[in-house]
Structure 1
Amino acid sequence: MNDANAKLDRARRLLDEGEPGLRELADAVGWSPAHLQRRFSARFGLSPADYLAQRKLGRLKQALRDGRDVTTALYDAGYGSPSRVYEAGAARLGMAPSRYRQGGAGESVRWSVIDTALGRALVAATGRGICAIELGDDEAALEARLRREFPGARLERVDEGRDEFLAPRLAAVADALAGRAAEVELDLIGTAFQKRVWDALMRIPKGQTLSYAELADAVGLPRGARAVARACGGNRLAVVVPCHRVVRGDGSLGGYRWGLPLKQQVLARERA
């Protein structure tokens, strides 16, 4: 292991063990704060502050899953007060911590399976917007994915067109999957870093592509291509959050959650 990587690994261990500030962390490894920030982001795909935030959020999620009461979970995870996680963490959870604790207990998710230009699609929505668009012919497998994501939520299947809230959103998703202009209200549920990547994906013009390295540059993480690729892989909103517009540096398609033939089909349609 070279000296730079050893310093970066030491910085990460210090973040795992406590909550050092950037200057304290930089002093510990013998770099300037700016240099540490740049090198850490390039190596791990997150700034030291974001890495620490994700560690804390991960501890909170696990404590909530283990059944601890919310207040104990918050303080054990390292949050100074409940307001801190409701200001920052709750947005990353996508729902209040008390509901996340039981896999989305109390959260209402309505869903339906519809026919689209790209085949069958499961479309799910919270009260804030569409939270999942999964493609595939096996409806049981699609439903199983949704239940794994929200094991404690109130999941309600709705026949297409039978729900005044969901019906117009299903129509908008169908338009988007057909390549037509559509306004789709989204509820992006993911980490802060994932949301940064997904926001950047939605700024790529239709018919154009970026490489994973170029997308990493766009979110301010040079050499963070692997972290960006993982965030793309975590996208649950097929086509609407256009991870299909990201390819390898040599122009080859790379991976795609819903299969490379579909990625190729959607890209060809957009380029036409």
Structure 2
Amino acid sequence: MFSDNQDDFWNAVMSKDRGFDGQFVFAVSSTGIYCRPSCPSRRPKRENVSFFALPAAAESAGFRACLRCHPEDVRTTDPQIEMVQQVCRLIETSDGESITLAALSEQVGVSSFHLQRTFKSIMGMSPSEYAETRRVNKFKQSVQAGEKITGAIYDAGFGSSSRLYELAPSQLGMTPATYGKGGRGAVIHFAIGDSPLGRLLVAATDKGVCSVRLGDSDEQLTTELQREFFAAEIRLDESRLQPALNAVVDHLNDKTPRIDLPLDIRATAFQRQVWEQLQKIPAGKTYSYSEVAKGIGQEKAVRAVARACASNPVALVIPCHRVIREDKSLGGYRWGLDRKKKLLEREARAK
């Protein structure tokens, strides 16, 4: 089974250990690319790295395969991971047609219960959720290649347009029609200012805040926002976003106990469940990843919880910094471990 010891994974990445090729891939949030451990590329910052058992899991999370090391071509040595990889291939080659859990389990020779449990523990989602994610990604690719909306919907395997429209708020962040227009009509306003943790970006749609980011430079923050919302029209609007920016800064300066802002964020059902649980953690306290998993009734989904924390789009508003490892070490943080340490120290003093 896929190990939870991410320190070993990171050491393998830093040493470019070929012995770990096939055991996991690592993905870099700042580039959107995933690699095998032995990839010759320059090593990224630890806080920008996530680990996945399979290339398929990294791709479902929105990462692209590295063109230097071709991590998707490496075979795994773990029989459980190999089984999940086989199921992924069956789903990928089903030509968009619905394939049942019973049919999948029969083809790989295990029970439906065992397949569902093993697949979810490794991929962080069920086979049906993986199939749905694949269809949405295929729709995106077709539209970006210039195909018309209706054709892209059916070519991706959706039996009707209504199903994709149901998924649109969480999977696309906009309606399929708007997505197909390259984001025309989807406008995101943003502002950047100083904070006790460095430069702070807050972005919002007309419905609510969609991104809160911490960084070292305005250029970095703006580039990351544009990469995440590539199909939308991005506008700098300091006057519109100043109240939201002030709300975050006031919280960091201990003027307010929490950040109350309307949100408009994309999330899978599992991510939303995790993020809602994080918002229940009071300032001054920390939970382990396993405690969060137990809190949502999925105690074996520890790795999936860690990935949900790493993909949190609204720093501080959803306090993913309050989640640490079982051994009390900090774990990861999308915006840097030094910032996570300062946040926890500040909240402990104010408790």
User: TM-score higher than 0.5 here?
Assistant: yes
User: Structure 2 stretches of 5 or more lacking a match?
Assistant: 1-76
- Once the two structures are superposed, residues 104-128 of structure 1 have per-residue CA deviations (whole angstroms, 9 ceiling, x without a partner) of 3321111111233433211110011
Letter in 1 for 2:89: R
Q: Which residue of 1 aligns with 2:61?
A: none
- Supply the distance in 2 between the matched residues of 1:2 and 1:222 (Cα, whole angstroms): 23
Q: Which residue of 2 aligns with 1:30?
A: 109
Q: Which residue of 1 aligns with 2:87?
A: 11
Alignment RMSD: 2.4
Aligned length: 268
Kept after mapping to 2: 8 A contact 1:109/1:126: yes
Kept after mapping to 2: 8 A contact 1:133/1:236: yes
Structure with higher RCO (Cα < 8 A, 6+ apart): 1
Letter in 1 for 2:133: Q
1:195 aligns with 2:272: yes
Worse-superposed segment, 171-180 or 107-116: 171-180
Q: 1:114 to 1:73 in 2, by over 3 A?
A: same
**Deviation of the 1:220 alpha carbon:** 5.1
Kept after mapping to 2: 8 A contact 1:122/1:134: yes
Q: Which residue of 2 aligns with 1:264?
A: 341
Letter in 1 for 2:325: R
- Once the two structures are superposed, residues 120-169 of structure 1 have per-residue CA deviations (whole angstroms, 9 ceiling, x without a partner) of 2111100111111111231122112222222342222123xx33xx3433
Kept after mapping to 2: 8 A contact 1:121/1:136: yes
- Supply the distance in 1 between the matched residues of 2:136 and 2:336 (Cα, whole angstroms): 31
Worse-superposed segment, 129-138 or 202-211: 202-211
User: Structure 1 stretches of 5 or more lacking a match?
Assistant: none
Determine which of 169, 182, 188 is the counterpart of 2:244.
169
Percent identity, aligned pairs only?
Answer: 43
Letter in 1 for 2:92: D
- Supply the distance in 2 between the matched residues of 1:39 and 1:198 (Cα, whole angstroms): 24
Q: Which residue of 1 aligns with 2:34?
A: none
**Deviation of the 1:2 alpha carbon:** 5.4
Kept after mapping to 1: 8 A contact 2:170/2:265: no
- Supply the distance in 2 between the matched residues of 1:52 and 1:218 (Cα, whole angstroms): 27
TM-score (norm 1): 0.87
Q: 1:232 to 1:66 in 2, by over 3 A?
A: farther
**Deviation of the 1:21 alpha carbon:** 1.3
TM-score (norm 2): 0.69
